[in-house]
Structure 1
Amino acid sequence: MITADGPSSTGQIAKTARAGTKTSTPIAESPQSVSVVTGAQFGKQGATSVSSALRYEPGVTTGSRPGDRFDSVFIRGFGGFGPNANYVHYWDGLRLPAGINFNVPSIDPYLIDRIEIMRGPASVLYGSGNPGGLVNLVSKKPEEEASHEVFTRFGNHGRAEAGFDFTGPIDGESQVLYRLTGVGRLYDLGFDHSSSQRVAIAPSVTWTPDADTTLTAKASYTRDPNAALTNWLPALGTLQSNPNGQIPYDFFSGNPNYDPFSRTQATIGYEFEHHLTDAWTFRQNLRFMHSSSEFKAYSVPGGGSAWASAASCGGIASLCLGRQSTHYIERFNALAIDNQAETDFETGKLEHTLLIGLDYQQLDATSTYGNGAVTYINYRNPVYEGAPNIRLTGRQDQVQHQTGLYVQDQMKLDNWAFVLAGRHDWSSIDNRTVNLATGALSGSDTRDRAFTWKAGLLYDFDNGIAPYASYATSFDPMRGTGYGGAAFKPTTSQQYEIGVKYQPTNLDGLFTVALYDLTQENVLTTDLRHTSTNTALTGCSSPTCQTQTGEVRSRGVELGAKFAITDDFNLSAAYTYADVKVTRSNVTTTLDKTPTGVPTHMASLWADYTVDTGGLSGLGFGLGARYMGSTHGDAANTDAMKVPSYILLDASLHYDFGNLDPQYKGFELAINATNLLDKKYVAACASANQCFYGTGRTIMATASYRW
């Protein structure tokens, strides 16, 4: 029940992952930081999004922008939203594409079997990407043994859900298997006018015509008619004391007559595997995704004061909050394909697993947008205006291509394990911007090549202790131009990592320690030599010219532990120390400062115990604590913008009624509570005008039946 060594994760301690090597490699034998969150674990913890499923993992920061519209995940201090953001999400080994601005896909956790986290640069196998690492979502797939599940869930904040998950053989010989998973939900984010809805369905079919060939065809459809956006609020009244009183936790800073965000995404693809010979295996994974979204929102203006003057707010300053309406209509079509050839052979005493791959990604995206006027609202007595009539003033079209060729050799010699990999990428970004009022056209074409590589060494002692060391590099192409219209070069990263893994021989568990030094170069920083806001004159892609002389360094220590004291008592613990600094910048106020939203310390502990004897047999309890250290709310790290640390408690209670009476076998009731004590806190700030309250107490009751 506890161990999940294969691709399916029915237990809470996984021992194998593909994310770090694209081969089925034991985590204890991989010379890099890799961990897995199984479906059993994040299910018992009551996760309702991918980001919330990762909140007990070392090195991973979630919750800085609460809500389910976007899965905000930062790894080792890197992540984000918008143009040139370092997205970390992959789905079944293929990168999840992201649109130009706010058209970012979201995968429902009920469709996911497990989540694999690889920390550190991963370009050598995946191409351009986040230097901090990646999160690979592994889908539920058809299984040979028939099983069925239905569930319903209710909770506070208007939550109501229902879902189903069916799998099994279609034919009598189990050559054709199916899986059909679906979920629908209604909920809100705990503040006024934040109702959200979702429906998602994912069918898949696996065909195995012979022992050497497997083909799994997959599709998915997700519709979010409305996904609420976390309130954008100023620091004054949230993080800082406001003489007129603090902004209420349930205050809605947007406009209920205008604010809905809608998104529709659909995918179709397949995973193919064929054993050419006893030594060679060929795999091909392909996915096509279409996504369209309409973003309507109000946000605090980025420049100047967020507050109305006293004269325009009944004679009271710092009472009427300024917000600007915005409108984005976006869509993209994306194709990703990964071809792999894997073989095992020996050269003397040296055992090899050789992987050769060729992958390709294409993204065709469009964004049409416009901004409205700044309006003001009294946060103590809000009166919402009618829906604004926003004129769409611009359109951005973007086409991206990336082709990569990679080779990896995993070698073993007695207790030694080595890995050496290299990759060459060819990428292009064609970007065009049209002023819809004047017809003026501007844009840039970027062509890049990059070579990335990694090397790792591990020694596996007979007692289960395995020290390791590794080095890895990555790159990520940049959109936009600097002075003179020169296209930006890709950012590059390199990381040194040493660590120790321990898989006890007499205990079901996995313990990890990782120390790393990660540096990202070619980071954008303000161009102080060219300050004109006339983009036609400067050739820059933004009014404030930027240049690539910046650098960010992340150093830290990560400790992780997942183990079973008994078959019914599981523990998960994590601690993170991260020293993230801007080590090069043209803006002196940000030099040697920590980027916003990055904590120095994080820690978590989760325990789950199920009674297996006596009258309470089948009754389970879960309790967790999460500590998030203080973060900085502005780039200059001023004391007035320091976000305090906080501790949140989570709890669960679950009971399997099959222990009460065999006729109730498969029926289970669970109650989950996150932020059990309903702590009111500021989750993070990105500037004096962009602060976000954390999610309040959420309680859910789930009834499920499996047969």
Structure 2
Amino acid sequence: MPQVQPNAPGTLRQLAIAMALTLPAFGSPLPVSAADTGEQNTAKPQSAALNFNIPAQPLVDALNAFIAVSDWQVGFPAGMAKDIRSSAVHGRYTPQQALQQLLTGSGLRYRLTGANTATLENAPQSQADTPVLTTMTVVGEAVKDVNDPYNEDYYISNTSTATKTDTPIMETPMSVQVIPKQILKDQQAIRIKDALKNVSGVFWATDPMYEGFQLRGFQTDGTTTVYRNGLRIRRAQHEVVNLEQLEVLKGPAAAIYGRIEPGGLINVVTKKPLDKPYYALEQQFGSYDLYRTTIDATGPINDDRSLLYRFDLAYQNNDLFIDKMDQERVFVAPSLSWKPSDRTEVNLNLEYQYDTRTSYTGLPVLGNRPVNVPVTRFYGFGTDNETSVFEKVLVGFDWSHQFNDDWKIQHRFHYYNLDYQINNSSFFPRPVNPLNQRTAVRNVSTRPIDDTDTVATSIDLTGKFELFGTRHRVLAGFDYFWETAESQGFFGAPAPAVYRPVVDIFNPVYGQVPLASAKDFNQFTTFNQSWYGTYFQDQITLFDKLHIMGGGRYDWAARSNGSASTAIETARNNETEVKDEAFSPRVGMVYQPWPWLSLYGNYVESLGGANTALASNGQPLSAETAQQHEVGFKTELFDKKLLTTVAFYELTKQNIATPDPINSRFSVSTGEARSRGIEVDVSGQVTDGLSLIASYAYTDAEITKDNQGNQGHKLWNVPRNSGSFWAKYSVQDPVLRGLNFGAGAYVVGEREGNNANDWQMPGYVRVDALIGYSLELGKSKVTAQLNVNNLLDKTIYETSAFNGYLTQPGAPRNFMGSIRLEF
């Protein structure tokens, strides 16, 4: 007779409540009460179970982390814990379970001396590796260490991006999604934009040279959206070989990160050195002559494991699906970790990346649609003059010190240099000639000098304490950001006809075009910005069910820019400066009626990006501002392995630059836009073999104030409906163990090509598939994998660019294979 698993009824009740909460979002209200779900019979002794996320580390540090979560007291004789490392504890446990797991393999055991107190003692020799078990009720199932290179989980329970503290997502009053490295492996995502398609409401929205994104309808240029380990990173194409996970915070993040576009923040979390040796070598190969080799090596340098290293390398060489285009990349990232004591850690890391690739701008627009030509069509000149070079160097440094069990300080710093050498002839067309509907003007662009330097640093003090029966986790911090950039070059308007050839869009002719020399340079620009801010935050827990967060930030920001058509010195002399000050508050609340369900809400104000336009008095415009209201709920189902987030939000952005009605050469900050919608994100594991990640976004984004006749228009590149679904199944049968396969679909609705709404990009459905096999060979693991992207070979237009004159196509059906050796 079939047996029902003990936790099945509870899971079904949880699913029923989660579905009841989700259905109203789609217009089908379904009231649910405790009587309807049978919830009155689900009482279980789970109140003592807590979420632990403690990595393997020196035992003293691990005990401090345990005490901070459990509020227990743990005593031991001086010197007993010296040179002893703990085991990792990740998952939902009672404090007894967590402490026992922490001590596994240490040669120590604990003895209870009170209700919430324990003392450590040496375990008998026969029990050194198997500590005495106390009677306990097991709650949930532990998950692997998030830094474990063999971790295959799709759901990471904790994140620090939203709060700058290590907080469970279920206790965070904002919508935040995490894409772990396993998803990148399964989908063979070699760009972060390939991974971000799994997150609701996030769209690639820039030209192919950079990585800028739209979040909740608001576009950025790549300079203010992407952060690296919590610090702002200048626009570039990010390498994924040293990426541990991507964390996406939805909505304004200015309250702890400073001026930023209000749609959200993408934080690239890099890999750290590990205290256990691990080596991986992967060779990828695919369509369009793609060859990509990556190396990942890490481990201890000395015997006591106080000094660790990691080295990541990637080399890639490939053509693109677009005619006459190719690229090459070299990337190296060494890093060191030093732990001079149980309470102190110092990390140093370096990144060097050298890219060469053919310049590309896109396909022109004819009428209200992209021109009907093959998406492989190249409209440049097809010569070596169109090769651009991008070189970046990043030096990062951070350290942390634990003063005692409750208080910690952490400092981060990086210096980042991005050097562009754009010696190319590019296609920057005016609109297609409306008379003959087949010709457009190509503009030659030469920018051999484009250099940017940035410095970013932050220092955070975090602490925990109790006050009048409430638990507090507090944050106080300060950060500073500085950037300077200069550019010299030539842009072909106005220019001699030789630099502005005409192209037949249906029959382009390739050929050599002369590059402009220095004497012809007509574009010199400078840009400088800096700001510093101080912020605070308090996360208060009452009754173990109510979590209240409040805080804010005060910013002092300055920026200046200059331009000239004659010399860089003239551009420097023409610089104008504008200063902004603002306070950005943030409040939020989470209520957990049951451990698996969180109801949350937040209100956030934001100091946005700096306007680069000038007013008629020659001064830059004031910065943009924004406000957001958001409510939603989160669930953890299937033994805390599957996370669901449903968010309802309204976000308004002001001070958008629009043309001055008296003199269109200048601007006024009268524009306003509003975005509101529903977002659903699901990720995790449903069964032992089935993992999935899915999303849906309904986004109603429109211009609410404008002086160009665009009021009431939709924001460009924002589909009203979009979604994704990806699932992977790993065969559990012993005979076929190691075989896995998966499939996914990505759906994007029709989008406007510009804010005038006079042309559209059609919607599309993209289907991807995976098959792979892993084989254990002693202590080594070999994995062979094949991915097929755009399986149905659909025509895809991903985004528009260059003032809405062009569109960026997506790749036709393509293949990616790989062989990976890990040991």
Question: Fold match, TM over 0.5?
Answer: yes
Partner Cα distance (1:578, 1:308) in 2: 33
Number of the residue aligned with 1:287: 414
Seen in structure 2, the aligned counterparts of structure 1 residues 299 and 3 have a Cα distance that, compared at 3 Å, is farther
SS in structure 1 opposite 2:193?
helix
State the shift of 1:634 in Å.
2.8
Number of the residue aligned with 2:815: 699
1:397-546 pair list within 5 angstroms? 397-414=526-543, 415-436=545-566, 440=570, 441-475=573-607, 476-504=609-637, 506-531=639-664, 544-546=665-667
Say yes or no: does 1:74 pair with 2:189.
no
Seen in structure 2, the aligned counterparts of structure 1 residues 50 and 438 have a Cα distance that, compared at 3 Å, is closer
Number of the residue aligned with 2:18: none
Partner Cα distance (2:630, 2:733) in 1: 45
Partner Cα distance (1:697, 1:525) in 2: 41
Partner Cα distance (2:182, 2:666) in 1: 49
Partner Cα distance (1:430, 1:453) in 2: 26
Counterpart of 1:51, as a letter, is K
Partner Cα distance (1:676, 1:2) in 2: 37
1:168-247 pair list within 5 angstroms? 168-224=299-355, 226-236=356-366, 239=369, 246-247=372-373
Q: Deviations over 1:144-171 (max 9, x none)?
A: 1110000111111110011100001000
Number of the residue aligned with 2:185: 43
Does the CA contact (< 8 Å) of 1:153 and 1:703 recur in 2?
yes
SS in structure 2 opposite 1:53?
helix
Greater displacement, 412-421 / 440-449: 440-449
SS in structure 2 opposite 1:14?
coil
SS in structure 1 opposite 2:500?
strand
Say yes or no: does 1:113 pair with 2:244.
yes
Counterpart of 2:522, as a letter, is T
SS in structure 2 opposite 1:13?
coil
Say yes or no: does 1:395 pair with 2:524.
yes
Number of the residue aligned with 1:560: 681
Tell me how many residue pairs correspond in the alignment: 664
State the shift of 1:657 in Å.
2.0
State the shift of 1:447 in Å.
1.3
Partner Cα distance (1:146, 1:178) in 2: 10
SS in structure 1 opposite 2:426?
strand
Q: Deviations over 1:505-550 (max 9, x none)?
A: 635110110000000000011211234xxxxxxxxxxxx2210010
Seen in structure 2, the aligned counterparts of structure 1 residues 601 and 400 have a Cα distance that, compared at 3 Å, is same
Counterpart of 1:50, as a letter, is I
Partner Cα distance (1:684, 1:600) in 2: 15
SS in structure 1 opposite 2:575?
strand
Q: Deviations over 1:578-617 (max 9, x none)?
A: 00010000112x1111121111111111000011214322
1:247-396 pair list within 5 angstroms? 247-257=373-383, 258-295=385-422, 296-302=424-430, 305-307=431-433, 317-328=436-447, 329-372=449-492, 373-390=499-516, 391-396=520-525
Partner Cα distance (1:221, 1:684) in 2: 29
Does the CA contact (< 8 Å) of 1:239 and 1:682 recur in 2?
no
Counterpart of 1:566, as a letter, is T
Number of the residue aligned with 2:29: none
Partner Cα distance (2:658, 2:370) in 1: 28
Does the CA contact (< 8 Å) of 2:370 and 2:807 recur in 1?
no
Structure of higher CA gyration radius: 2
Higher relative contact order (CA 8 A, sep 6+): 1
Say yes or no: does 1:579 pair with 2:690.
no
Seen in structure 2, the aligned counterparts of structure 1 residues 627 and 2 have a Cα distance that, compared at 3 Å, is farther
State the shift of 1:272 in Å.
0.4
Greater displacement, 561-570 / 511-520: 561-570
Partner Cα distance (1:482, 1:231) in 2: 30
Number of the residue aligned with 1:12: 154
Does the CA contact (< 8 Å) of 2:366 and 2:432 recur in 1?
no
Number of the residue aligned with 1:92: 229
Seen in structure 2, the aligned counterparts of structure 1 residues 105 and 642 have a Cα distance that, compared at 3 Å, is closer
State the shift of 1:121 in Å.
0.5
Number of the residue aligned with 1:644: 762
SS in structure 2 opposite 1:461?
strand
Residue ranges of structure 1 left out of the alignment (5+ in a row): 98-103, 310-316, 532-543
Number of the residue aligned with 2:276: 145
- Higher strand fraction (1 or 2): 1
Partner Cα distance (1:283, 1:614) in 2: 47
Say yes or no: does 1:126 pair with 2:257.
yes
Residue ranges of structure 2 left out of the alignment (5+ in a row): 1-140, 493-498
Greater displacement, 672-681 / 486-495: 672-681
Q: Deviations over 1:288-320 (max 9, x none)?
A: 111101233423434xx42497xxxxxxx3344
Partner Cα distance (2:148, 2:408) in 1: 21
SS in structure 2 opposite 1:604?
strand
Seen in structure 2, the aligned counterparts of structure 1 residues 2 and 118 have a Cα distance that, compared at 3 Å, is farther
Counterpart of 2:726, as a letter, is W
Does the CA contact (< 8 Å) of 2:596 and 2:640 recur in 1?
no
Q: Deviations over 1:320-357 (max 9, x none)?
A: 44311112231111111100111100101111111110
Seen in structure 2, the aligned counterparts of structure 1 residues 48 and 380 have a Cα distance that, compared at 3 Å, is same
Partner Cα distance (1:341, 1:525) in 2: 41
Number of the residue aligned with 2:128: none
Say yes or no: does 1:59 pair with 2:201.
yes
Partner Cα distance (2:562, 2:387) in 1: 28
Does the CA contact (< 8 Å) of 2:220 and 2:261 recur in 1?
no
Number of the residue aligned with 1:673: 788
State the shift of 1:694 in Å.
1.8
Counterpart of 1:671, as a letter, is L
State the shift of 1:24 in Å.
0.3
Counterpart of 1:354, as a letter, is V
SS in structure 1 opposite 2:185?
helix
Partner Cα distance (2:681, 2:533) in 1: 33
Q: Deviations over 1:360-379 (max 9, x none)?
A: 11111111121123212334
Does the CA contact (< 8 Å) of 1:235 and 1:685 recur in 2?
no
SS in structure 2 opposite 1:670?
strand
Partner Cα distance (1:609, 1:161) in 2: 26
Counterpart of 1:79, as a letter, is Q
Seen in structure 2, the aligned counterparts of structure 1 residues 308 and 439 have a Cα distance that, compared at 3 Å, is farther
State the shift of 1:188 in Å.
2.6
Seen in structure 2, the aligned counterparts of structure 1 residues 362 and 231 have a Cα distance that, compared at 3 Å, is closer
Partner Cα distance (1:7, 1:498) in 2: 31
Seen in structure 2, the aligned counterparts of structure 1 residues 177 and 73 have a Cα distance that, compared at 3 Å, is same
Greater displacement, 436-445 / 44-53: 436-445
Number of the residue aligned with 2:72: none
Seen in structure 2, the aligned counterparts of structure 1 residues 150 and 66 have a Cα distance that, compared at 3 Å, is farther
Partner Cα distance (2:315, 2:308) in 1: 24
Q: CA RMSD in A?
A: 2.1
